[in-house]
Amino acid sequence: MIEAIILLGPPGAGKGTLAEGLKRSTDLIHVSTGDMLREQVKAGRPLGLQAKAYMDRGALVPDELIMQIIAARLDRGPTAARYLFDGFPRTAEQARGLEALLAARQGRVHKVVLLEVPEAVLVERLAGRRVCQRCAAVYHVRNIPPRQAGVCDQCGGPLIQRPDDAAATVLNRLEVFRRQTAGLINHYAELGLLVTINAGQPRDVALAEMVAALSGATQR
């Protein structure tokens, strides 16, 4: 039986950061479509080459490619497990695709955590975000600084700014979220699966709220 937890929220809401924190205290298998796509780009794979043009301009990668990587990921994983999806699904089509993949594996969506953050905070977070080129760990120049500037605490790799965190692209990504992804909020609310957390708070506070929401303590 496969159980899925979905992190839903705009770019900069902290999906990756919170997923990293949650991973430490649980047995969840973290699946970030953004990280997987960036790995494909780095490795120069055909799928990466196809995806890169969309990613660099802040557009969504076509659903078909995304469903391919998700299906392949589930096929490689254990048949009984809990997955934490970060950045997926992002369209109604992907949500339907996930439901079909889960149904074929006696699985289900357990909960969807909506990360709410004021837009001004999102822009500030994305502008200051730095990621490790080697292990994809996430930092922020002011809010989550590495011990040594420009160097990853975890692996010593170089910290870089993602190409799609450039100011012009950030606004496009926020618009893409509103247009193509925000509709999923209603979809999952209607299914009674949605829990909302205030992800505009400092990381550790938001993480504690998410852990509580997932254990069922603070559903609202």
117 touches ligand ADP by CB under 6 A? no
Within 4-43, which residues bind ligand ADP (CB under 6 A)?
11-12, 15, 33-34, 37
C-alpha 211/C-alpha 138 separation (Å) is: 20
- For the record, the structure tokens of 20 come out as 């990293």
For the question of residue 15 being annotated catalytic, the response is yes
Within 64-103, which residues bind ligand ADP (CB under 6 A)?
66, 87-88, 90, 94
- C-alpha distances in Å from residue 37, one per residue of 53, 65, 74, 204: 12, 10, 16, 27
User: What strand order describes the sheet that includes 159-160?
Assistant: 138-140, 129-132, 159-160
Choose the contact partner of 96 out of ligand ADP, Zn ion, none; CB within 5 to 8 A by kind: none
Q: Which residues of 50-74 are buried (b: 16+ CB within 10 A; e: fewer)?
A: ebbeebeebebbebebbbebbeebb
How many residues make contact with ligand ADP (CB under 6 A)? 19
State the minimum distance, in angstroms, from the CB of residue 148 to Zn ion.
12
Please measure the distance between the N-terminal and C-terminal CA atoms of the chain and give it in whole angstroms.
27
List 38, 90, 125, 130, catalytic entry? 90
- Residue ranges binding Zn ion (CB under 5 A): 132, 134-135, 137, 152, 154-155, 157
Within 154-213, which residues bind ligand ADP (CB under 6 A)?
164, 173
**β-pairing, 108-116 with 29-32?**
unpaired
Kindly list the catalytic residues: 15, 90, 129, 162, 173
Interface residue list for ligand ADP (CB under 6 A): 11-12, 15, 33-34, 37, 54-55, 58-61, 66, 87-88, 90, 94, 164, 173
